[in-house]
Amino acid sequence: MRRGIILSVVLVGLVIAAGAGWLVGRGIRSPAEIAAQAEPPEASLITVAVERVELTADVITRADVGFDEPASLSLGGALGGNPTALVVTAAPEVGDELVEGSAALEVAGRPVLVLQGDIPVFRDLRPGAEGVDVFQLEEALVRLGYFPGVADELWEEETGVAVDAWYTAAGFRPNGLSDNEKAALDSARSRVRAASENLQTSREARDEFAEGPSALDLLAAESAVQSANEQLIFAKLGVDEQLEAAASAVRSAELARQQAVRDHQSSEERWQLAQSGIHPDTGQPPTALELQLLLSEYEQAMEALRRTDQALTQARIDQVSTEVRAAASVRSAEEQVLQAEQRLADLIAPADLSDFNRQIRDASEELSDAQDALATLESELGTWIPAGELIFLKRLPVRIDRMTVSRGGFVAGSFMTVTGSELAIRGSVSERDAPLISEGADVLIEDPSLEAPIVGTVTVIAEQANTNGVGAGRHYLQISVAEVPEELVGRNVKIVLPVSSTQGQVLAVPAAALSATADGSTRVEVDQGDGTTRFVEVEPGLAAGGLVEITVLEGDLEEGDRVVVGYAAGE
């Protein structure tokens, strides 16, 4: 019984232990179970649609509209009368206002007048001049009330009359003939006189030639022919004598050489016989003295042969020279005969006046041209404006801010500074944006006072930062427009500078959609809608507004396809 109780207690303990083990086992996990339960839930894709848009990258800044920087005035050329010293004889004061038609300065008694116009002075304005500067001058004279007609681009008589009136009203003597004009007029008149004298001379020469030769001229020409023929006869006779003498000299040289050849052969044979041991004269063996005499005889014969060879060669050369000189002498005499005969023939031939008539025609044309040139020059002379007596400013009136000369001083370069002659738009851009902007680039100017943006042009973009009074790290920017609306003067306006554009619609994705591969290429990941993705290789282009232009290099990609830009954690 006791053992049964003990067994029951043991069984109960085992059951309790087993239950406790089961309970403890539920709370114990293996490392694999812990790692499996620690994995995050599967992430979901974040995608955006591929767009087809036109991308434009702009630089936005602001600028002030106001009158231009101070302008320096200087003489645009010489003054009337060409004074030797540019002495200031009258000058305004700082703060004075220059109005259209007034004198900005008086130099050596001549005025420096100001008018309104866009084209700077670049030449003297004279009667007959034509161009936009003449039109600009006449427009100003119309505004001043001196020009009654309609402004055009030609300086005519009424232009000179108006300039006369303008100068006189300003208290100055108008400019008449300049030294250059006087010189040109004198030259034109001299040309007319010379052409007239040449025409008269040509006519007199023709008339004299038409009368024919005098009896004395004919007799002289006939005598010249006879004398030339006689000289030809003498030349031929002299040639024959010279040729015969030269031929005789050759024949004599040939005979002398033939004798020298025979003597040489004889002495050579005698010498050879003596060398064989037999004297040619005695038949006995020669003595030493006899051998010496025979050798000397042989050498003398050789020298005589050499001299006769030279003499024959020289005789033949002299013969050829004589023939050449003789032929030249005869030709010269024959030419003299031909020339004398031609002179005689010209005298007795009918008069050919064609050359004289041509000279008279040319002289008449030259006289006509000279007379026309003189008439044109005389019509163009009159009142004129030297380049140094006129300054065109784009806007008038202007205020004198600074004078660099005073009465009694000398003009050298700029003589005064004025403001208010031109409007400009000035601003700045950051150092980052400055390299994107170039002079000549178009810009848009926006302001609430405008019905629509107006187009301007970048005229200045400073290479260095912190110039022209702009802020730190900024580059000075200046913009011009064809015409600044009055309502913009003094305002701060918005400037839009397009720096690049795709020039049409292109495929574009957010920059976050692009990823780089190990080989350096670029790709996007495309959601195929079935839980899978694919990669498309692309080439990125212009970036603007968070989008990047792409060109498909490998794979398919169209507008509306969704590309992966990120992943969202699962729930």
Tokens of residue 59, six digits: 């630089």
25-33 mean pLDDT: 45
Query: Does the pLDDT value for residue 183 go beyond 80?
Result: yes
Decide: 461 and 475 in contact? Cβ < 8 Å. yes
Residue 47 domain flag: no
- CA pair distance 497, 434, nearest whole angstrom: 11
Whole-number pLDDT of residue 503: 79
Residue 38 domain flag: no
Going by pLDDT thresholds of 50, 70 and 90, the confidence category of residue 353 is: confident
3-state secondary structure of 497: strand
Q: Which of 134-148, 388-402, 430-444, 532-546 reaches the highest mean pLDDT?
A: 134-148
Residue 326 domain flag: yes
Nearest to 125 by CA among 185, 166, 170: 166
CATH of the domain at 544: 2.40.420.20
40-67 mean pLDDT: 84
Least trusted range by pLDDT, from 413-417, 463-467, 484-488? 484-488
**Side chain identity at 217, as an amino acid letter?**
D
Last residue within a domain, chosen from 468, 499, 530: 499
Decide: 164 and 127 in contact? Cβ < 8 Å. no
- CA pair distance 292, 364, nearest whole angstrom: 98
The CA angle 253-258-264, to the nearest 5 degrees, is 120
Task: Please indicate, yes or no, whether residues 94 and 63 belong to a single structural domain of this protein.
Answer: no
- CA pair distance 85, 542, nearest whole angstrom: 63
Query: Does the pLDDT value for residue 258 go beyond 90?
Result: yes
Pairing relationship of beta strands 44-49 and 390-393 according to DSSP bridges: unpaired
Partners of 57 in the β-ladder = 500
N-to-C CA span, the chain: 63
CA dihedral 173, 175, 178, 182 (to 10 degrees): -90
3-state secondary structure of 92: coil
Whole-number pLDDT of residue 439: 93
Whole-number pLDDT of residue 19: 41
Greater model confidence, 20 or 300: 300
Tokens of residue 189, six digits: 């008149």
Decide: 174 and 163 in contact? Cβ < 8 Å. yes
- CA pair distance 466, 428, nearest whole angstrom: 10
Task: Please indicate, yes or no, whether residues 481 and 527 belong to a single structural domain of this protein.
Answer: no
User: What's the whole-model pTM score?
Assistant: 0.40
Whole-number pLDDT of residue 68: 65
Partners of 567 in the β-ladder = 45
Express as a percent the part of the chain with pLDDT over 70: 90
Query: Does the pLDDT value for residue 5 go beyond 50?
Result: no
Tokens of residue 212, six digits: 């024919």
- CA pair distance 376, 390, nearest whole angstrom: 26
Task: Please indicate, yes or no, whether residues 312 and 389 belong to a single structural domain of this protein.
Answer: no
CA dihedral 497, 499, 505, 507 (to 10 degrees): -130
Q: SS3 for 46-110, per residue?
A: EEEECEEECCEEEEEEEEEEEECCCEEEECCCCCCCCCCCCEEEECCCCCCEECCCCEEEEECCE
Whole-number pLDDT of residue 121: 95
Nearest to 232 by CA among 146, 128, 340, 136: 340
Task: Please indicate, yes or no, whether residues 229 and 150 belong to a single structural domain of this protein.
Answer: no
Task: Please indicate, yes or no, whether residues 240 and 330 belong to a single structural domain of this protein.
Answer: yes
Decide: 543 and 87 in contact? Cβ < 8 Å. no
Task: Please indicate, yes or no, whether residues 238 and 300 belong to a single structural domain of this protein.
Answer: yes
Decide: 133 and 119 in contact? Cβ < 8 Å. yes
Going by pLDDT thresholds of 50, 70 and 90, the confidence category of residue 69 is: low
DSSP category for residue 148 = -
Tokens of residue 478, six digits: 């200046």
Tens-digit pLDDT profile for residues 534-569: 999 999 988 887 899 999 999 999 999 999 999 887
Owning domain of residue 321: 215-350
Decide: 396 and 98 in contact? Cβ < 8 Å. yes
Least trusted range by pLDDT, from 281-295, 368-382, 433-447? 368-382
Residue 82 domain flag: yes
Query: Does the pLDDT value for residue 571 go beyond 70?
Result: no
Going by pLDDT thresholds of 50, 70 and 90, the confidence category of residue 24 is: very low
Residue 22 domain flag: no
Query: Does the pLDDT value for residue 233 go beyond 50?
Result: yes
Task: Please indicate, yes or no, whether residues 208 and 234 belong to a single structural domain of this protein.
Answer: no
Greater model confidence, 316 or 375: 316
Residue 48 domain flag: no
Whole-number pLDDT of residue 387: 95
3-state secondary structure of 331: helix
215-229 mean pLDDT: 87
Task: Please indicate, yes or no, whether residues 303 and 395 belong to a single structural domain of this protein.
Answer: no
160-169 mean pLDDT: 95
46-55 mean pLDDT: 93
Residue 30 domain flag: no
Greater model confidence, 50 or 423: 50
| Bond prior to 213 in cis (omega within 30° of 0) | no
Task: Please indicate, yes or no, whether residues 437 and 495 belong to a single structural domain of this protein.
Answer: yes
Tens-digit pLDDT profile for residues 268-310: 999 999 999 999 999 899 999 999 999 999 999 999 999 999 9
Phi, psi of 225 (to 5 degrees): -65, -45
Last residue within a domain, chosen from 366, 394, 418: 418
CATH of the domain at 489: 2.40.30.170
Whole-number pLDDT of residue 498: 86
Last residue within a domain, chosen from 367, 395, 418: 418
Q: How many helices (H) and strands (E) does the chain have?
A: 8, 22
- CA pair distance 505, 55, nearest whole angstrom: 7
Pairing relationship of beta strands 110-116 and 390-393 according to DSSP bridges: parallel
135-139 mean pLDDT: 97
Whole-number pLDDT of residue 499: 80
DSSP category for residue 445 = E
Kindly provide the residue ranges of all beta strands, DSSP E only, lying in 277-397, ordered along the sequence: 390-393
Tokens of residue 177, six digits: 């003939």
Give the list of residues 6+ apart from residue 103 with CB closer than 8 angstroms, or none: 90, 111, 112, 113, 114, 170, 172
CA dihedral 195, 199, 204, 207 (to 10 degrees): 170
515-526 mean pLDDT: 91
Task: Please indicate, yes or no, whether residues 473 and 523 belong to a single structural domain of this protein.
Answer: no
Decide: 381 and 175 in contact? Cβ < 8 Å. no
Q: What is the mean pLDDT of the chain?
A: 86
Task: Please indicate, yes or no, whether residues 234 and 311 belong to a single structural domain of this protein.
Answer: yes
- CA pair distance 129, 95, nearest whole angstrom: 36
Residue 4 domain flag: no
Task: Please indicate, yes or no, whether residues 135 and 153 belong to a single structural domain of this protein.
Answer: yes
Greater model confidence, 13 or 122: 122
Decide: 132 and 201 in contact? Cβ < 8 Å. no
Give the list of residues 6+ apart from residue 333 with CB closer than 8 angstroms, or none: 228, 231, 232, 234, 235, 236
Give the list of residues 6+ apart from residue 73 with CB closer than 8 angstroms, or none: 104, 112, 391, 414, 415, 416, 417, 418
Tokens of residue 105, six digits: 């300065």
Tens-digit pLDDT profile for residues 77-116: 999 888 999 999 999 999 899 999 999 999 999 999 999 9
Going by pLDDT thresholds of 50, 70 and 90, the confidence category of residue 27 is: very low
DSSP category for residue 48 = E
Q: State the total domains in the chain.
A: 5
- CA pair distance 390, 155, nearest whole angstrom: 16
Query: Does the pLDDT value for residue 28 go beyond 80?
Result: no
